[in-house]
Structure 1
Amino acid sequence: MTTSPNSAAKKAQEALGLRLRSLRLDVGLTARELASATGWHFTRISKIENGVQRPTDADIRTWCAACAADGEVGDLIAQMRSIESMYMEFRHRTRTGMKQLMRSPVPLYERTAQFRIYEHNVIPGLFQTAGYIRAMLPFWFTFLGVRNDLDESVAARLERQSVLYDGAKTFSVVLEEACLRTPLGDTDTLRGQLDRLLSIMSLPNVSLGIIPSMTVRDVIGSAGFWIFDDTLVKLETPTASIEVAQPHEIDLYATMFDHLRSWAVYGRDARGLIIRVQGELG
């Protein structure tokens, strides 16, 4: 099974091939020797190592067994599966309107116990007001060329916020101050959104931190990301949702989240920052 040469998943597939090649070289096997050990034709070895052919779960297990690397199986399989689901194109998922896209994360939200969320320029969807959602969605109907089902989409997005009130779930959220200042809609829309944030902060299962814009630090988040338990990371681009399922990459995102969180202010300081921004709105 191959991928489109124009797909970003192609690069990920090539990276997987390089990892498998390294396992072979680590034990001093030639491609022909590995082919002999696995019962495959040697050209199949070459195709997998060069990212031309994607291996199956069974292929990875066989490869690792031949290279005495059974401990790598889980991580390699997760890497392979992340390639398959890395890019779920919005256009494909929104053919009948945006409502389906709004509903698609619900099963993931329902099975997740710990949410870790970082956003650098927008309020997270779980905290958005109806007015804020209405201000941001119209552009995407045109941009993605999908049917305008604004009312249904707003309702669907609001419905998924019910997970906030499940006491068995925790939400650790870090926002850049820029999120508070992005003027989606008019002044009243943003003021209402900031009121909503103040209300959300009172929930016992929500920890909301804000990184002040003038904080001196050694790194900034280049993109927003959500970590679902320790099993999945999701990022969104203008045209696709990217899923990361490799354990070592999830660990890296968790480390980045902890690093960003260390600069955030919480509690009274965070409330004071939100209220100050509200005051600047007039």
Structure 2
Amino acid sequence: MANNNQMTVSRYTAILAEYDLILGEARGFSGRLTGRQVVDEHLKLAEIIFTKMVCHAISLRRISPTLQNGSNPELWDIGAACAIARTLVESFDALGYIALQPVTDPEREMRILLWELHDKEHRLTMLDGIGAEGPDIEQLRDNAKKLRDAAMTHPFYGNLSRKVQQKIAASEAPAYIRIQSDRNQASGINHDYYLNVIMQLSQYVHTLPFALSQLRLTHAGDPGALQIMSLPLQYCMPFIAKAIEGMGQLWPALRTKMPEDTQRKIDLWILLAADGVKGAGK
């Protein structure tokens, strides 16, 4: 990850090139998934979430400065870059929770069941908040009840904490039955590193004072601005690398031998995600 050394054009260009290598592997794996028949629900969801991650990664690359001379100046939108990066990171969290983490079949079924129930209840809350009515709303309400009943009669229900059971009964099903630190540990992500990434990206997403002070003191093209614009790219690479690794474990037949340099870079980002970066430089 980023360190205290001043960002230079050559260093930023190297970060872009490394990002392109890893993104290329993700796009390649996504392409090899196309057209395959998938039966298991968690594999269907894995394919969709991974595709979502790849789309975010492509979008982030497209809005990142290229430093190429042209007639039209580039827009250095750090807020948009951080928003996309945070969405990508949180997509990996969902991918790991739904499909990559090694859990029993009953627990995985319950995870997906409550994940879908949470979604429907959340939508109902929003629709009720604007006074929406009609047969579609009632159908959604009925579908939520069926999912709730299925969850409460599921064999894994007794393994849930009392707090989670109470939320389900109160029509407030949580999206996740494992807390963030447990999900990170199960996904091979250092929890402190994850929190730091989310906090750093959120400063720009939520327009906090520190982010504004940095924007006020930097200008497009100077080392400080390059440093800021490189952060979303660097923060995303460990999670893209972990997603590639995880998808390869789900579909080992789709893995291909990577160039040695690409494999080494992916392995280093995976190691960084597991160990964190306190005091370390990329």
TM over 0.5: no
Larger radius of gyration: 1
- Flag the structure with more relative contact order, 1 or 2, with Cα contacts below 8 A and sequence separation at least 6: 2
Q: TM-score, normalised by structure 2?
A: 0.23
Higher relative helix content? 2
Normalised to the residue count of structure 1, the TM-score between the two structures is 0.23
